[in-house]
Amino acid sequence: MDILLSEAQIQERVRQLGRRIEAEYHGRPLTIVAVLTGSLVFLADLIRQIGLPLRVALLQASSYKGAVSTAGPLLLNEAFVPDVAGRDVLLLDDILDTGHTLSALVRQMTERGARSVRTVVLLRKLGRQEVHLEPDYCGFTIPDAFVVGYGLDYADDYRHLPYVAILPGSHPPPGAGG
Ligand code: XMP
């Protein structure tokens, strides 16, 4: 597989993101809400670079896809939804693709009374966004290819790779990712 982002590149960028987040929240306690499952590795590395009091919550979100690839409404597993009322929430995801997942979650967190909602993504795919959402913190902008590793999967494989690679000759499988 072609390595797109090496382990060293990712680690350095995650360190920078952590520094920025720490500086911009000025010691305010933070609630990081991560979207399962692809964001787990990024979450684990990023929180260790943020010297602030913080809580971590995990969300399971999925969208029913139509026959083509139009995303349906976002389904949230209520059992996972944290209490965010009055809190500064930082939504964390592995990759911003069409933008539907994160923009729906920003709305949800706001409706649930979060004091502020910002977003952080490791990756942002060029030319794929369907919904306007400017991530507050972004690791890397990448070309429109299906990527795996560092938490991202193909049929639940490859999540453990310490780098991000392009899956050769593949189009995203239906319902892939998460
Ligand atoms: P949207 O389109 O709502 O979705 O921004 C973001 C989610 O789509 C999945 N996704 C990928 N997963 N390799 C993956 O393993 C990819 O190249 C890829 N592109 C999108 C992922 O679950 C992400 O959270």
Of 49, 137, 123, the C-alpha closest to 90 is 137
Give catalytic residue positions. Answer: 97
- Using the mean position of ligand 1's atoms as its centre, give its distance from the Cα of residue 28 in Å: 30
Residue range 121-156, pLDDT digits in tens: 999 999 999 999 999 999 999 999 999 999 999 999
CA distance from start to end of the chain = 21
Sorted by where each starts, the structural domains of the chain and their CATH numbers stand as 7-143 (3.40.50.2020)
Dist. CA 114 → ligand 1 center (Å): 25
Of the pLDDT bands very low, low, confident and very high (cuts 50, 70, 90), residue 65 is low
Phi-psi map region of 5: left, alpha, beta (phi>0 left; psi -120 to 50 alpha): beta
Residue 133 Cβ contacting ligand 1 at under 6 Å: no
The finding on whether 96 has its CB within 6 A of some atom of ligand 1 is yes
pLDDT at 66 over 50: no
User: Where does residue 66 rank: exposed (0-12), middle (13-18), buried (19+ CB within 10 A)?
Assistant: exposed
Q: Assess contact for 96 and 129: CB atoms under 8 A.
A: yes
For 15, the token pair is: 């360190």
Averaged pLDDT, 25-37 = 93
Q: Give the residue whose CA is nearest to atom 23 of ligand 1.
A: 95
Q: Which atom of ligand 1 is nearest to the CA of 39?
A: 24
Nearest CA owner, ligand 1 atom 4: 97
Q: What is the pLDDT of residues 36-62, one digit of tens each?
A: 999 999 999 999 999 999 999 999 887
pLDDT of residue 75: 81
Q: What does pLDDT average to over the chain?
A: 90
Which range, of 73-77, 109-113, 119-123, averages the lowest pLDDT?
A: 73-77
Q: Is 98 in the pocket of ligand 1 (CB under 6 A)?
A: yes
